[in-house]
Amino acid sequence: MRIRSIAFLTLSLFFALHVGAKDPLKIYILAGQSNMQGHAQVSTFDHVGMDPRTAPILAEMRTADGAPRVCDQVWISSIGNDGTEQEHHGRLTAGYGAMGRKTKIGPELTFGIYMQKQLGEPILIIKTAWGGKSLHTDFRPPSAGPYEFSESQLASMQKQGKDIDQIKRDRIQATGRYYRLMVDHVNKVVADIKRVYPDYDPKAGYEIAGFVWFQGWNDMVARDVYPNRDKPGGYDLYSRLLADFIRDVRKDLSAPEMPFVIGVMGVGGPVDQYGASQQRYKSTHDGFRKAMAAPAAMPEFEGNVAAVLTENYWDAELDELKDRGGKIKAKSQELNKDPSLSRQQREQALATFREELYTPRELEILKGSSNAQYHYNGSAKIMAQIGKGFAEAMATLSESGRD
């Protein structure tokens, strides 16, 4: 009887200690350049609902009255929105995209929504993204070593009469600056989580549960850094730098097995569907995308690094309608050259031309764009799918890590 009593007390103590114990707060880091910032204006949300495939996503993004949803269980700290290190934090909602006159979103909104739905518990997002930043210099990881100018770069600068010594000094200062700002901000947030997420329980602790990288444009267009970019293997350097980045960020954040998702550039859609006007840069885009995705196939990263092909979320219909708009500009220039027309007549003629160019439905679809093509047309429909895709890839990696 005494043995039973001891066993009962032991079990009671075990359950008292463990029942109701909270899991560590899961923290996800989102980093990159302007497309991680996000340039999709809230005004483009309606377009998400026009497609039956994406309408369910819109239902998650806003409330019944049409207002952007405020996520009770997702908190965010973000820097770089306005190009500086000024922090914005609070519950996740629209407005954590790039700063501007209009409210914008990036991938963070649907990433947070779907990641939290997957986990069923509060999460914290730390976002660090600045427009126009490269991996070869700005986000250059420490283990990659200093940036080295090539002989051709030095010869070109000398030919142009530039101050090479000053350029080298400036490059030393710029190298890795945004990598350090990123790591410093993560460390700042985790040092005082309650400042950002008031309900945080220090006894439960936290876990750096994943990292999403969405960058690439400034490397893709850097012909001086990648002089053979149009040839096979021309972007191999990017693959090596990104592999170094993954290793270094895991080390610097003390998260050696941290799941890592690579958002592969996909502006323009799948390259095998490129039209005649896109053929001139098809090989460049194809080569760069393969280089971005390459670390996910490295044996050392098996099961904890994944590549998400954002080309799969491209909206070809929206893009074609935007391209068609170039005819309106040409027509306007033509009308302005006709001295026989009054201003009112020109405006009426242009309005008639526009009505002939687009159907009423196409004009509604056009409202789904709020920025340039290289910013995924500022489309919430595209950006929402990208964020959801990142969350799904992260969930798969996390499940794989627990097996």
Distances (CA, A) of 250 to 136, 142, 246, 255, 296: 19, 12, 6, 5, 15
In tens, the pLDDT along 362-375 reads 999 999 999 999 99
Q: Is the pTM of this model over 0.85?
A: yes
Domains, the chain, in order of start with CATH, read 23-141+176-315+373-402 (3.40.50.1110), 147-172 (no CATH)
Ordered alpha helix ranges (H), 175-235:
177-191, 217-220
Contact 113, 80 (CB under 8 A): no
In tens, the pLDDT along 51-65 reads 999 999 999 999 999
Q: What is the model's pLDDT at position 403? A: 62
User: If pLDDT is split at 50, 70 and 90, which confidence band does 19 have?
Assistant: very low
Average pLDDT estimate for 32-53 = 98
326-336 vs 343-357: helix crossing angle, rounded to 10: 160
HSE-up (13 A, CA, CB side) for residue 391: 22
Tell me what the pLDDT averaged over the chain comes to: 94
Give dist(CA 375, CA 354) in Å, integer: 25
| pLDDT beyond 60 at 187 | yes
Q: What is the model's pLDDT at position 2? A: 45
Q: What is the model's pLDDT at position 21? A: 65
Q: What is the model's pLDDT at position 400? A: 76
Helix (H) or strand (E) holding 30: strand 25-32
Nearest CA to 36 out of 157, 125, 149, 102 is that of 125
| pLDDT beyond 90 at 328 | yes
Give dist(CA 313, CA 389) in Å, integer: 9
Average pLDDT estimate for 183-206 = 98
CB atoms within 10 A of CB 115: 25
Task: Tell me the percentage of the chain whose pLDDT exceeds 70.
Answer: 94
Give dist(CA 382, CA 315) in Å, integer: 7
Q: What is the model's pLDDT at position 399? A: 87
In tens, the pLDDT along 112-167 reads 999 999 999 999 999 999 999 999 999 999 999 999 999 999 999 999 999 999 99
